Amino acid sequence: MIGKLKIYNTLSGEKEVFEPLNGPHVGMYVCGPTVYSDVHLGNIRTFMSFDVVYRYLSQLGYKVRYVRNITDVGHLVGDADEGEDKIGRKAKLENLEPMEVVQRYTNGFHNEMKVFNILEPSIEPTATGHIVEQIETTQRILDQGLAYVSNGSVYFDVEKYNNEHNYGKLSGRVIEDLISNTRTLDGQDEKRNPLDFALWKNANPEHIMRWPSPWGEGFPGWHLECSVMSTKYLGEQFDIHGGGMDLKFPHHECEIAQSKTASGGKEPVKYWMHANMLTVNGQKMSKSLGNSFLPNELFQGSHELLDQGYSPMTVRFFMLQTHYSSTLDFSNDALKAAEKGYKKLMNGLATLNKLTYTEGEVDQKLEEIINKQLDSLYFGMNDDFNTAKTIASLFNITKQINKFYLGQQEIGAVSKDTFDRLNQEFKRFVLDVLGLQEENTTDFNSLLTLILDEYKVSKQEKNYDKVDAIRAALKEQGILIKDMKDRIDWGWDDQ
């Protein structure tokens, strides 16, 4: 391993050296999507940020168990304890089964993950698949005396928890401020304190998604699923928990309170990581603000902010060019620059593949420079997964690759070992760590038209050798040229 990986831990507010609890195994949990609508590019940025974390840890040799859930129940409109379930509401609006809504948008989500080359997690549990465990955990918290039943719902007692633990330590909020900033209860309320949050909610008669429980028919609170599924698959204490910055409070704060109580006081997560937001004109991209973009609008360039379409890998490059903890503003100009940057890296890759090593006189200084450049790929990623730094190093290495290619520098000026290392590390960081892929954006039909034009000219010039050569070359590709009376066309070779 080159250098030490450091992770900015939201819990401590510091960059810390990464030391897994049970190395070489690493447990990582990331809050997944609520599958009631299409994922927008903001969501994709967060999943891409953690994709790179997963990829880099795996490249470092860790055996990562990566759990990313699907929220298919319990996330209420407005993110608090009141209102309809997001999925239930969509099901009513579209006259569908809630599970039809869930399936449709889960499929859509998976599709987008593939398009952006975001790897599948090791386990993708659903909230509805873990109702029994959520009931059990609610009971355990009740048994600890840190929750209470009210009208068939169960609420977590935040103030009582705070007497022994620090509610607000992740998000830096102070409970006294939180109390003074929340509305007072109106006497009708089921909660003892407005800060309390639901572990289990009693379902009113209109509520579609409901399960039997010791407290009557109802459904789990939104925060509970993540406590239950993370600890079920990763243990009561695990290494990394991630999600978007907007989930820090209350979602993750509540998760800590629940998990800690359920385990009898153990700190559930060693490193909390939060990915920053994708913004549009400085404002968070979000469905409810109406400024969200769907991937297709971007690929087709059909959005009013864009003057052309951009490919998935251009978008991936655009996102990774900024460190995950900074906000990233969406703009046509930035995407245009990213398109060039991405192509530069792909050219570097193609050029590297054309180089063959020949022995020469080794220049120790160059040898050192190149090895340092290669080390810096790790130093960038080791610095809290700073993809921006690593991309800058990749550009420097691309310059070196081009020097070899253009003959400005003898390849033999570096040792075979260093050349092999260059080859291996460059590909590793571009393809495996950053997850960039070659994209075939050339248009098959336009290329074929060019060739057929050349064929036509050769025929007119009676250059039959060339005519035959073009015919033979296309036949080899499974394409037959058709000489028609008035034109030249082509078809697949079916003979």
Residues that bind ligand AMP (CB under 6 A): 31, 33-34, 42-43, 45-46, 243-244, 246-247, 277-278, 284-286
Strand 269-275 with 238-244, pairing:
parallel
**43 is in the binding site of which of Zn ion, ligand AMP, none (Cβ under 5 to 8 A by kind)?**
ligand AMP
Which of 250, 348 has the CB closer to ligand AMP? 250
Give the integer Cα–Cα distance in Å for 307 and 296.
Answer: 14
Q: Which of the listed partners (ligand AMP, Zn ion, none) does 286 bind, with a CB threshold of 5 to 8 Å by partner kind?
A: ligand AMP
Of the pair 198, 430, the CB lying nearest Zn ion is at: 198
Nearer to ligand AMP, 327 or 424 (CB): 327
- The answer to whether 62 and 74 have CB atoms below 8 angstroms apart is no
Closer by beta carbon to Zn ion, 31 or else 275? 31
Of 288 and 353, which has the nearer Cβ to ligand AMP? 288
Please identify the residue of the shown chain whose CB is closest to the bound ligand AMP. 244
Least distance to ligand AMP, CB of residue 243, Å:
4
Q: Which helix (H) or strand (E) holds 329?
A: strand 328-330
Q: Which is nearer to ligand AMP, 234 or 414 (CB)?
A: 234
State in angstroms the smallest separation of the CB of 354 from ligand AMP. Answer: 39
What string of DSSP letters covers 307-346? SS---HHHHHHHHHTS-TTS-EEE-HHHHHHHHHHHHHHH
**CA dist 163 → 157, 175, 394 (Å):** 10, 11, 51
Looking at residue 98, its amino acid is P
- Could you tell me how many residues of this chain bind Zn ion (CB under 5 A)? 2
Minimum CB distance to Zn ion, residue 226 (Å): 3
Give the span between the Cα atoms of 283 and 329, in whole angstroms. 8
Contact call for residue 228 and Zn ion (CB under 5 A): no
Residue 20: CB minimum distance to Zn ion, A: 21
- Type of residue at 362: V
Q: Which one of Zn ion, ligand AMP, none is in contact with 226 (Cβ closer than 5 to 8 A by kind)? A: Zn ion
390 binds, among ligand AMP, Zn ion, none (CB under 5 to 8 A by kind): none
Q: Which of the stretches 91-99, 220-228, 324-332, 458-466 binds Zn ion when contact is defined by CB under 5 A?
A: 220-228
Pairing mode, if any, of strands 283-284 and 278-280? antiparallel
Closer residue to ligand AMP, CB minimum distance, 328 or 411: 328
CB of 242 to ligand AMP, least distance (A): 8
Give the nearest distance from C-beta 78 to Zn ion in angstroms: 16
CA 320, CA 21: separation in Å to the nearest integer?
28
Smallest distance from ligand AMP to CB 71, Å: 6
Inter-residue contact 52 to 435 (CB < 8 Å): yes
The CA distance from 294 to 112, in Å, is 10
Residue 257 contact partner, candidates ligand AMP, Zn ion, none, CB within 5 to 8 A by sort of partner: none
Query: Which of Zn ion, ligand AMP, none does residue 244 bind to, with CB < 5 to 8 Å depending on kind?
Result: ligand AMP
Q: How far is the CB of 31 from ligand AMP (least distance, A)?
A: 5
- Cβ-based nearer residue to ligand AMP, 76 or 452: 76
Binding residue for Zn ion, selected from 102, 198, 226, 436, defined by CB under 5 A? 226
**In angstroms, rounded to a whole number, what is the distance separating the alpha carbons of residues 360 and 366?**
13
278, interface contact from Zn ion, ligand AMP, none, CB < 5-8 Å by kind: ligand AMP
Which entry of ligand AMP, Zn ion, none binds 452, CB below 5 to 8 A by partner kind? none
Q: Which is nearer to Zn ion, 148 or 167 (CB)?
A: 167
Partner whose footprint covers residue 33, from Zn ion, ligand AMP, none (CB < 5 to 8 Å by kind): ligand AMP
Round to whole Å and give the CA distance between 205 and 343: 57
H-helix or E-strand spanning residue 162:
helix 158-164
Q: Longest C-alpha distance within the chain, in Å? A: 96
Query: Should residue 269 be labelled a site residue for Zn ion when binding is judged by CB under 5 A?
Result: no
**For residues 13-32, which are near Zn ion according to CB under 5 A?**
31
Torsion of CA 76, 78, 80, 83, to 10 degrees: -50
227-228-232-237 Cα dihedral, nearest 10 degrees: 20
CB 234 within 8 A of CB 29: yes
- Minimum distance of ligand AMP from residue 246's CB (angstroms): 5
From the list ligand AMP, Zn ion, none, partner contacted by residue 284 (C-beta under 5 to 8 A by kind): ligand AMP
Under a CB-based contact definition with an 8 Å cutoff, are residues 367 and 316 in contact? no
Nearest to 228 by CA among 138, 158, 147, 149: 138
> Are 246 and 277 a contacting pair, CB within 8 Å?
yes
d(CA 169, CA 435): 34
Structure tokens at 83: 């209102």
Nearer to Zn ion, 49 or 393 (CB): 49
Q: How far is the CB of 77 from ligand AMP (least distance, A)?
A: 11
Give the single-character DSSP code of 123. B
Q: How far apart are CA 145 and CA 335, in angstroms?
A: 53
* Closest CB to ligand AMP among residues 11, 448: 11
d(CA 172, CA 486): 77
Nearer to ligand AMP, 160 or 284 (CB): 284
Report what 418 binds from Zn ion, ligand AMP, none; CB cut-off 5-8 Å by kind: none
Q: Compute the distance between CA of residue 294 and CA of residue 299 in angstroms, rounded to an integer.
A: 9
Residue type, 61: G
Residues that bind Zn ion (CB under 5 A): 31, 226
